[in-house]
Structures are given as structure tokens and as C-alpha cells.
Amino acid sequence: MKKTSFLLAAIMLVPAAVRSQDGESPALSRPAAARILGEIPDGTPPPPAPPKPKFIVPAKDVLATTSQQQGGRTITFQKIKPIALPSPPEPATPVAPIDAASLQDRLAEARESHQKSNMIMLGATVYHFKDSPPRTLVTYWPEGAEESITFWSSADFSLISGISSFVATDGATCSLFMMWSNQNVARMADLFTVQSREYHGPNMPDFSNGSATFAIFGKQPNNPSVLVPIQSLHDIYNSEYGRLKTAYEGRERARIEREAYLKANPPRPKNITLNYWRTEKPAPVKGASR
């Protein structure tokens, strides 16, 4: 009896928690672990930039000086002796034109040699509740798609705001561009009560405790692969929650400290000095014949 060999297919993980008002969402394969690229800003100030070289004009080269006040600062105009400027660079050697066939070949080679990259554009509102975890309403604009996708998430997207780029589970490098805001539901309800108005809180799905998940609100996307970056962000949120939370708290401390400092020490306009000189032969007007 011949021995029959069996090739065991790897079972792709399916995010079962992804739901929709219109039914179950299509399965999303996750062949690799999503990961953050680069550092997450945590409020630590960047190192100071090296000082720029100062432009100092000797007193003997100052021909005339006038000053005027503007917006609480002094602007000084100094006419100085002409300064020799470097000659303009030589015009670049013209590049030989590329024929259409060669251009297509080069573009094809570039596409094959460069890793796939996506721009993930999101708009998020994080709702905060008095006695329950925050929930986020997100609008997602997939690249090349005609319609946006709206979903609720049990993740706090204010923490995700620290991510600038990441690798999705399909291996694509993604750049994250997200505009987000916070809304305190209890505070909004109190405000409406003061105005004798009835406040209707957000209508959101029920999320079970545990790992962060998302639920599509409305129509499912025609191409389920556009949800891979969204699932990847939730994977990162679940695996890097502590790191994301610590970084966010650091950014918030730095913001509060900076606001307090600026309130106590409002910036004052700085005085500036503008130096100018006239050449013996005026430069030709751009586009005019010599």
C-alpha cells in the first residue's frame, strides 16, 4: 500500500471579532506580525539644534541705519557696503531623453525593487465615558477607493496617534496620517442639560472585554484586503498597549507643562535687523532681455 503524504496547509488567523451591521465581515489573513517602525514620540524634547552662524557686519561697513517699531519689536534697516556673492552655478548638463519603452522598463524595475507602501488616512473621534472604557469612531479612506469606510473600535485611538509608520500583516509599509479629537460624553450631557436640551450619546456596538476589536458601521468594503492595515493597527494596539500608553502619557505631560510655561512666560517678539546694499549695476529683471 502506497504511503500518501499530506501537505498540511497553514491555517490563517481570522479576526472573528470584526463585525458589521450588514453581516459578518470577510476573513482577513494575517501571515505576519504587524509592527511599529521607528520610535514613538513620548514628549521627550529633541536635542537642541546646533547654533546657526551669526551674520555680523563690522561697524565700519554700516553706511546708514533706520529703525521702526512694529508689533512690540524694533526692526532695524542697515544699509551696508556691498558684499561679494559667489558666482551662480553653471547650468546642468542636459540629460538625454528616455524613450517610452525604456521608461516603462525602468518603472517596472522600480516597482519590483521597492517594497509596497500605503498611506493610511484616518479621522477619529475618541469618546470618553464616566464608568466604561473609551470607544473610537473612525472614518478610513483607503487608497484608490471611491468610498470611505466607517467603523467603531474598542481601541483608544489617542494612543495610536503616536504611530507614524508601521508594517502591516501583509508586509506592506504603511504611513499613518490621522486627525483625531476627544469627546467627553458626561461633559456633553451636562452641557446639554444646562441648555435644556436632550443629549443623545453615540450609538455604538457592544464590545466584549479583552483584546481591542473593530466593527464596521454600514456597508462592507468590496475588497476585504483594504482592512488589513486596520486589523494590523489593532494587532499593534493589543501587543504594544503598554508602550503606546506610556508614550501618550509622556506627550500629554509635555503638552501640559509647555502650556503652563507659555502662560507664565508669554513669548515676546524679537527685535530683528535687516541688512541690505545696492550694487553699481542693477541685476536684470527676470525674463527681460539683456
Whether pLDDT at 230 is above 80: yes
pLDDT tens figures, 146-198: 889 999 999 999 999 999 999 999 999 999 999 999 999 888 888 888 888 98
Nearest 5°: the CA angle 229, 231, 236 is: 90
Task: Give the start-to-end residue ranges of the domains of the chain.
Answer: 117-203+211-269
pLDDT tens figures, 54-109: 888 999 999 999 999 998 899 999 999 998 888 888 888 887 787 777 778 777 77
User: CB pairs under 8 A, 24+ apart, for 75-78?
Assistant: 75/271, 75/272, 75/273, 75/274, 76/271, 76/272, 76/273, 76/274, 77/273, 77/274, 77/276, 78/273, 78/274, 78/275, 78/276
CB neighbours of 147 closer than 8 A, spacing ≥ 6? 219
pTM of the predicted model as reported, rounded to 2 decimal places: 0.71
The more confidently predicted of residues 104 and 277 is: 277
Q: Are 156 and 136 in contact (CB under 8 A)?
A: yes
